[in-house]
Structure 1
Amino acid sequence: MAAEIVPIQLGLTAGNVLTLWAPRWREDGEEWEAFLGHGDHIYVFPDPAHLAAFIRSDAEHDLTDHPEWETAARMLTDELVPDDDHRFDIVGVPDLVAETPDIWTLAEMTDTVAILRSLAEVCDLPAVDEVLDSADGFSVLPLGESAFSGRQGEKLWNGIGAAVVRNWDKVVDAVDSVVTTPSVDAALLETAQAEAAATHAVLEDETEEDVEVAELEEGERDPELAFWDEIGIDCIEVAVDGRTGWTLRCYLDDEPLFLAVGDRIQIFSSDEALEDYVTGTGADHRLSSLEIWPQVRDAIDGGDAVVVAGPENSYQLDGLTEALAAGPAAVPAERLDLAVELLTDAAAARRDTATADALSTATPLGSLVRAITRPDPGRLPPAPPFDDEAEQWQELVARFAASLDWDPPAR
């Protein structure tokens, strides 16, 4: 396994603090794992500038022998800001277990429990392991929503909640007891703070430029999209299996809802065919129960609206499997990002948890997708070959394609 050092954020009693974590790596035939610290303590810092000042000093700590330490010690201040996958709100777990065990809640719980297991092992914190071993649900978190569905799943989730209510203070106290913030050299800190300020100024300029570009693009937006933007339904265009089709989608309470009959998405080989279907007086589908649906039907029937997909709703799945097999450099990141959105939306609409599980960052495919769509310069790029990941992606595309009902007759 590749050796790396990554910045992480821990949510503790004193607030959010930063440190460095070296996930498991193999060296001289043995596996190792470590955090930035020394002796019985983990070193934590209030912000990236303090962390940068410390790692640029000659202070003694446990990561100096790590094979990637020289690279880590040269990290810029902005590179020491943890990404979303490396922010662990340990004190926030009681609020988390009060939520429904959906894909996002379970992913956050899984990551938090995993880092706690690492802290317990590296820092010898038996109290943490004792609490995490007290409920069966903690051990099956990586299985995702499938493990927490039905009566047995509800029992597992409630068991986690009961363990947290009874004993989570012990977990927080144990971690609090091993963290400390060492002093840093004033000159090094001043340099790091100036670096952070300069980076912030550059990012602000880039943000302003992005806003200006977005406003310009919005000004050039196809006027025929205005109806759909206002009403809150998307016309979507999909290219898959050598065919191109059009259908509709909207979101209710952030849940995707497609033009579908049962679990079959109704998709049409031309925009005119979709318009004919929408205006069919007897069409019965998942969108027909919406309060705004008569307005959609009447607008299309009266010529006040037409089926047209904006660039943000145009999905081209063909060719991505071959690109993934060739590696990240061959994959158009924006097209892949949109494809993931479509596959996960369609899967959620038909209650298919396997697709979301396959694309989680806990899988090789999910890690590859994230490396392409959300590249992180502080992480090592995935290593080839990517044949297995491409095959898994194709299975997800095939599952989506099988849910499409092409050119159903108007009723």
Structure 2
Amino acid sequence: MANNGIVPVKLSLTKGDFYTLWAPSWREHGAEWQAFLGAGDDLFVFHSPAELLVFLESDEKHDLQSHPKWGAFSARDALRAVPAEKEEFDLVGVPAFLADKPSSSNVKAVARCFRIARSLGDVAASTPIQVFFSSHSILGNAERGLEHFSGPAGMSEWTAIGRVVLVNWDSVIDELDDLVTVKEVDEDKIKDAEQRIEETKKINEEKQKAEEQKRKEEAEQVDPYDNTVWGIAGIDPIKISIDGRTVYTLRTYVQAKPVFLGKYGEIFTFNSSKALVRWLVEHDDHDLAKVSTWEDIMTVANAGELGVTVHQDNVYSFNGITRDIEKGPEQVDSNQLLRAYELLADAADWAGDDSLNSFFLANPRMQDYISYLTGYTNNAGYTPTPPFNEHAEAWQQLEDMLTKRFSKF
């Protein structure tokens, strides 16, 4: 058992359940050691975790105080006297485990009981226990797990271990009964120790619930899109609704610069997401093919497993903007306008042409208008005044500039 610390354990013996401490294995000065709570030839056990805690808080000396991890262990809370479920050893129940068919749980239980029984025998220098384990090497196979006992040969070996235990285990238990010393403690302090153990359990349970709730909330905040092939590759499908039609394409950013699915300033667009995927499988002459993660997308596409997931942040609607501009600023959805303008700017930036700047030089009132509604640039002192038909016409020109970049529309 790989454990360099000290753990509380529960031992089920003939006269009932007992509690003590076990230091499974540690190395010191080049030698390997193991130990149990005790002093000299005595191995101390207690009727309850509370009694064990009372002893640990007393001034009585014991051998584990020389353990290199004792300081850290003794600084722990009251639960340092309470065994975890995996540290509970039903030693008298070993024959019953072996009488049943091998399963994950009872194979592990047998292996763990053999392990601690052998450790008890070695620490106490018990010849009967040491001879039992050294004379029956087949017992060590319990450590190999359930798979070792699968099939007819495995079942036969499980039965053989059962026969060894059936003949010899009572003697091992008798020896363990004689090895332990039930230690008495101050009875007046037991109730207080029980209360502190229960209080610490409740505090830890509440803390665990709070941590689980926090993990749950954090998990809920994780966007499912981030786990798609698109989110992992950082290449996004985008959906554009404009002039009564809807098209799909792809976009990413490389060093904060937009890159669209397209070439030479033409954005390759498709009237459905399925058409987009079909095209991708057959074509690779486009700017996105140069992106380092593009192969991740194509691996899934070539396997016939690529679906198009469009994140809400990548849905752009131009519908109704021209009409609303003509009605007046109060009718315009500034968020919709801003997102639409950002797509216009991305397309011009990727194409590397000066069309957008040239347009605003020729239509300065439109640039002021967009800045006023979206706050995209600082233009203090400007206020739109009617009529707004010129603004509407100018915005329609911007939309036309965008759709002219589309391969299909």
TM-score calculated relative to the size of structure 1: 0.48
Looking at both structures, which has the greater relative contact order when contacts are Cα pairs under 8 Å and sequence separation is at least 6?
1
Query: Which is richer in helix?
Result: 2
Larger radius of gyration: 2
TM-score calculated relative to the size of structure 2: 0.48
